[in-house]
Amino acid sequence: MKPKIAKTLTGKFVVKYRCLKCEDKLVSPLDEIGLKDTCPNCNTKYVVPGQAEKAELAKRQEAARDAAARKKAEKIAAAEKAAKESSENATQETNAESITRRDSKPSTNLIACPDCGRMVSPRAQTCLECGAPISQQSPTRAKDEPFSHSSPGHGKLGRQEYHRDQLICTNCGTIGKPKIVTKGKFAIELVLWIFCCLLGELIYTIWRNMTKSKRCRSCGSATMLSLDSPMGQKLLAEFGHGV
């Protein structure tokens, strides 16, 4: 019987063969190939066969490892290629969307009426709100550049100048810079920093900073809008500023 290498249920390899004298079936571990042994049936001394079969098994295992490594490398390369194509497609879509938005953007911007502040087309000759003539001016103003406003029907006596960094309260109509309101007490924060543990001080300080909000100096409302916004222009007219 020619030696044969087999795999056991536990995953180990063994060599199966027969005794040369009594032909009894024998099994030896793979690492005993080439070593001397004794037949348990007839006590014949022999050398465990299977060196050629062991070499062939080693070749097959090496080929299997190489195939697995190639398959893994191909899978990684395919994943990298797919990720690169996805990134390129996303970039192309983003560029196409930017071009579409740019092409669809109107060629002219609205400008504010010098009298009532309503946003109108720079091609208009008169304002639709107050009827004032529209002069050819730049569609945009610098943030700190003052602009004038007068309530409809009040004429030149009602004109006042405001700055773009000022806000208008939606509740009472007060115009100006808001006040910063913080919850909690500075005295408590100071006591915590002096007498308490660092963690308590830090938590209280962070909480106070997170509760900071802009409030109207007159009524305390937290809803204030920029005078440069369309709603801010509308509120100017509604509250009659410039009288």
pLDDT of residue 135: 59
pLDDT of residue 243: 37
**Token pair 């032909």: residue:** 23
pLDDT averaged over the chain? 77
> From CA 159, how far away is CA 7, in angstroms rounded?
100
Q: What is the 3-state secondary structure (H, E, C) of the chain?
A: CCCEEEECCCCCEEEEEECCCCCCEEEEEHHHCCCEEECCCCCCEEECCCHHHHHHHHHHHHHHHHHHHHHHHHHHHHHHHHHHHHHHHHHHHHHHHHHHHHHHCCCCCCEECCCCCCEECCCCCECCCCCCECCCCCCCCCCCCCEEECCCCCHHHHCEEECCCCEEECCCCCEECCEEECCCCHHHHHHHHHHCCHHHHHHHHHHHHHCCEEECCCCCCCCEEECCCHHHHHHHHHCCCCC
Cross-strand pairs, 46:
37
Which of 3-7, 148-152, 163-167, 169-173 has maximum average pLDDT?
A: 3-7
Among 68-77, 127-136, 204-213, which is the least confidently predicted range? 127-136
Using pLDDT thresholds of 50, 70 and 90, give the confidence band for residue 238: confident
Cross-strand pairs, 180:
214
Cα dihedral: 221, 223, 227, 232 (round 10): -110
pLDDT of residue 155: 37
pLDDT digits 0-9 by tens, 73-100: 999 999 999 898 888 888 888 877 777 6
pTM score of the predicted model: 0.34
Look at residue 204 and tell me whether its pLDDT is greater than 50. Answer: yes
pLDDT of residue 219: 85
pLDDT of residue 156: 36
Higher pLDDT, 164 or 57: 57
Q: Residue 29 is encoded by which pair of tokens?
A: 């571990």
The percent of residues above 70 in pLDDT, for the chain, comes to 76
Look at residue 218 and tell me whether its pLDDT is greater than 80. Answer: yes
pLDDT digits 0-9 by tens, 110-138: 787 777 777 777 777 777 777 777 755 44
Phi and psi for 19 in degrees, rounded to 5?
-65, 135
pLDDT of residue 113: 77
pLDDT of residue 40: 92
